Amino acid sequence: MTYFDAIIQGIIQGLTEFLPVSSSGHLLISQHILGVQENNLFFDIMLHIGTLFAVLAVYYKTIWKLIISFFRIIGMIFKREFSFKKLDASQNMVIALFVGLLPLFLLFAPVPGSGMSIKDVAEELAASSSLLLVGIALITTAIMLTMGIRKEKSYKNSYVKRVDSDGDLERFDGKKQLSMFDALHVGVTQFIAAIFPGISRSGSTLSTGLMRGVNKQTALDYSFILGVPAIIAAAALELKDALKCGAVQAVGIGPVLVGMLVSAVVGFLAIKLFKWLLKTDKMMIFVAYTSVLGSVCVIIGIIEKFLSTNIFTGMAI
């Protein structure tokens, strides 16, 4: 892999990991166009680790508070004082994170009659370089974003019975805390996004939170922080096997480090951008983008299936 390829893919990963447009889908598209084939999974994991540093840089205060809250919950359990009613916002978030991560264990469930796990199927889909599949998944992302945006607008214009100091009814802008049922819904969505390249993890989990009536900033923060343990777990599972088969030597340590650095810096900026776009109600930009890109990928994918050739590189598929 060249440094140019590493920089391009690092930029794509950093932008698309947090913007609701699917990092896995965009990496697959870029690799398909560039004809990059060797050890894609290993390099993709390293780019994800790069974006992990971006999340830590933006949310380090929140994550530290959650770590403290976790140990406080442990103390409450040992003292037999634990109660959902006694949890503050940070402690509630800790429990919601655990609940949201539970569906990911389904990745290890066997697929009947195949001798494979769901995780194995997901890896085969990621390695297939099928633009048709990515296109369908991107359109699915657009549909989910649309549903989330419409739901958010519907409750944003509603009112609660409580009145403010001026005697006016206060607008309801969503729940500030996730219920365990909300967290489970978001977790199932993250599980589905982990299987199909092109379904945005951040976009689908955010949309699910919005459809559950969660405040948009709370839903976004939860989505980003939920990705931290998911990225760590994926890296831990895949890196061991990748290192055994000599993936570092095949790709090159230099391009790997450059790709990670680029993805971290671009990812940091992407998080800031996403938070601003969500706050200013400009999410329809991503609906239009994923719809158009998904449609283009479907068309190209159909053509390539008919020709059995990658139209960008001329290689047989």
283 vs 149: CA distance, rounded Å: 7
**Residue 312 belongs to some domain of the structure:** no
Which pLDDT value is given to residue 213? 92
Phi/psi at 35 (5° precision): 75, 20
Phi and psi angles of residue 19, each rounded to the nearest 5 degrees, phi first: -70, 145
The DSSP bridge partners found for residue 175 are 214
Is 95 contained in some domain?
yes
In a domain, 189, yes or no: yes
Tell me if 169 is assigned to some domain.
yes
Give the pTM. 0.88
What tens digit of pLDDT does each residue of 276-306 get? 999 999 999 999 999 999 999 999 999 999 9
Cα–Cα distance, 235 to 229 (Å, whole number): 10
- For 207-216, write each residue's pLDDT tens digit: 999 999 999 9
Asked if residue 317 belongs to a domain, the reply is no
Domain that holds residue 45: 3-307
- Percent of the chain having pLDDT more than 70? 89
Q: Is residue 316 part of a domain?
A: no
Residue 23 located in a structural domain = yes
Amino acid identity for residue 213 in this structure: G
pLDDT tens for 78-116 read: 988 888 888 899 999 999 999 999 999 999 999 988 889
Rounded Cα distance between 164 and 86, Å, is 26
CA gap 291, 283 in Å, rounded = 13
> What is the tens place of the pLDDT at every residue in 218-234?
999 999 999 898 888 87
Sorted by sequence, the CB contacts under 8 Å of residue 114 that are 6+ apart come out as: 121
What total of structural domains would you count in the chain? 1
Confidence at 124, pLDDT banded by 50, 70, 90: confident
**Looking at the predicted structure, is the pLDDT value of residue 159 above 90?**
no
**Considering the domain boundaries, does residue 283 fall inside one?**
yes
184: tokens are: 């489970």
**Average pLDDT score over the chain:** 88
